[in-house]
Amino acid sequence: MGHSFLNRHIRSHSGHKPYEYHEYEEKPYKCKECGEAFSYRKSVHRHERTHTGERSYECKECGKAFTWLTTFQRHTITHTGEGPYKWKECGKAFSCSTSFQAHERTHTGEKPFICKKCGKSLRSPLGLQIHERNHTGEKPYECKHVRTHMIMHTGDGPYKCKECGKAFNFPSSFRIHQRTHTGEKPYECKQCGRAFSCYTYFRTHEKTHTGEKPYECTECGKAFIYRTTFRGHVRIHTGEKPYKCRECGKAFSRPNSFRRHERSHT
């Protein structure tokens, strides 16, 4: 590791700031979404992804997509087995100790994170954080806060479909959507011949043949092929029920159960 990186890391512990910020320092690059200012163009571009939801780095092994290069690089280690933290039982490797410890608990059964409200024990701090929303009522991912998703409703995106009027922020998303109208499916499975319009769906399908299950629950160790199935499973542990019926107030952890219930009112 170079001296510059080491010194920068040491300062994160010591709190030493050799380059003090002065009010007169120019920050010409401003985020159009929230107004936060940055000194460098690349910094504002990185920041803007937190609003747009853009995920530029996609794993070729499992199809998972990431906003940040560093997060993507950490993830690839789980496939290559080259990480410094390796679990002897299953051979999985991790780039950071926190991820390794969370995985370790799926083998040991340890649940050290306890909810102060109801006493429920969970294996990971993220699981506890999600569970606590059941008590606080917090909904951090509401539609109005997700700019990329909202563009489909408002039609404000620069890439607009002439067929149905849906708008998109990125040309890649727009091209994938167009295939729903043209019927184009350029990604074909060599095993069974099934074709897909989107590369991510194609890679997910391939796992049904290989048996790969990249989405592992940190609470119980159960693994899943599909991200949506995995998310639904995690809610069994956290108790989260984000789908609420407007008619009677009943809440559900899975969208299909919610839709079935809604039909009982009609």
pLDDT by residue for the chain (266 residues), tens digit each? Answer: 445 555 555 555 555 555 444 444 577 787 776 777 888 887 777 777 666 556 667 777 666 677 777 777 777 766 666 667 777 777 777 767 777 787 788 788 888 888 898 888 887 887 888 888 878 777 655 544 455 555 555 556 677 888 888 877 777 778 888 898 999 998 899 989 999 888 878 888 888 888 878 788 888 888 888 888 888 888 888 888 888 888 888 888 888 888 888 888 87
pLDDT for residue 155: 57
pLDDT at 38: 81
Please tell me the predicted confidence (pLDDT) of residue 144.
44
Q: Which pLDDT score is estimated for 24?
A: 43
H, E, C per residue of the chain: CCHHHHHHHHHHHHCCCCCCCCCCCCCCEECCCCCCEECCHHHHHHHHHHHHCCCCEECCCCCCEECCHHHHHHHHHHHHCCCCEECCCCCCEECCHHHHHHHHHHHHCCCCEECCCCCCEECCHHHHHHHHHHHHCCCCCCHHHCHHHHHHHHCCCCEECCCCCCEECCHHHHHHHHHHHHCCCCEECCCCCCEECCHHHHHHHHHHHHCCCCEECCCCCCEECCHHHHHHHHHHHHCCCCEECCCCCCEECCHHHHHHHHHHHC
The pLDDT of residue 20: 46
